[in-house]
Amino acid sequence: MSGPDARAAYDAVATAYDAAFADELDAKPLDRALLTSFAELASSGTICDIGCGPGHVTCFLAGRHADVVGIDLSPAMVEIARQRAPDLSFTVGSILDLPVADDAWAGAVSLYSIIHLTPSDRTTACREFARVIRPGGWLLLAFHVDSPEFAVGAVNHLTSWLGQRVELDGYFLDPDDVSAQLEAAGFTVKARLEREPIDGVEYPSRRCYLLAER
Ligand SMILES: C[S@@+](CC[C@H](N)C(=O)[O-])C[C@H]1O[C@@H](n2cnc3c(N)ncnc32)[C@H](O)[C@@H]1O
């Protein structure tokens, strides 16, 4: 699932999600360092925040890079992102069918967005990343690996989140599997970081960050 259900879920929680997460990078120095490094690596050309949500990560990148855009499945999220950063371009679109030409971008980040894709849709997404990122360009992915409640490979089906009724699947992903999907799509994984959750700041999952070159 990542189509009508994910869109409806994120439309429903968009305002609450923004309130909960817009300032999250303040408490995440490692994430800031990764995003700063990414902006330097993909310095020449457009970079896209895919699954940008309310645009707070897009704005962080825009402070470090001259040409940043955002795409998200949820129109409500895109509307909040546009209000946050009227000077940036935000588009409604899906990871599974990105609305840009081949080799359009110098890089893309996609933080906690592939977590909503089925395994076969993740394969499609990796092919789309490879299609739209030019040779020599960069991709930074983040996803949940496991948590006290969920083992790697588990699916968390939410029916209620941030005070709203939703139908939303969240997958806990094996870094080896995602790395293999990226490599099969034409990327070379250049760096892999797994970290523990930050106590009291975020959902208590272990997280993985993959930096890949096209
Ligand atoms: C957990 S939020 C992460 C948002 C943001 N990247 C962040 O780090 O806060 C997941 C986001 O992915 C978006 N999303 C889910 N499925 C998508 C798809 N197929 N294409 C584009 N965006 C999608 C959702 O609308 C939501 O904004």
Reply yes or no on whether the pLDDT at 183 is more than 60.
Answer: yes
Torsion of CA 121, 124, 125, 131, to 10 degrees: -170
The predicted-structure confidence for 66-116, as pLDDT tens digits, reads as follows 999 999 999 999 999 999 999 999 999 999 999 999 999 999 999 999 999
- Expressed in angstroms and rounded, the spacing between residue 4 Cα and the centre of ligand 1 is 13
Residue bearing the CA closest to ligand 1, atom 26:
53
Q: State the pLDDT confidence band at 2, using cuts at 50, 70 and 90.
A: low
Q: Where are the alpha helices (DSSP H) in the chain?
A: 4-21, 29-41, 56-62, 75-84, 119-132, 175-185
- Expressed in angstroms and rounded, the spacing between residue 180 Cα and the centre of ligand 1 is 22
Q: Which two tokens stand for residue 17?
A: 């999600």
List, in order, residues 6 or more apart from 145 with CB less than 8 Å away: 152, 172, 173, 174, 175, 194, 205, 206, 207, 208
Q: Ligand 1, from 1, 5, 10: best to mutate by most atoms within 8 Å of Cβ?
A: 10
What rounded mean pLDDT belongs to the chain?
97
168 alpha-carbon distance from chain centroid: 16
Q: What percent of the chain has pLDDT over 70?
A: 99
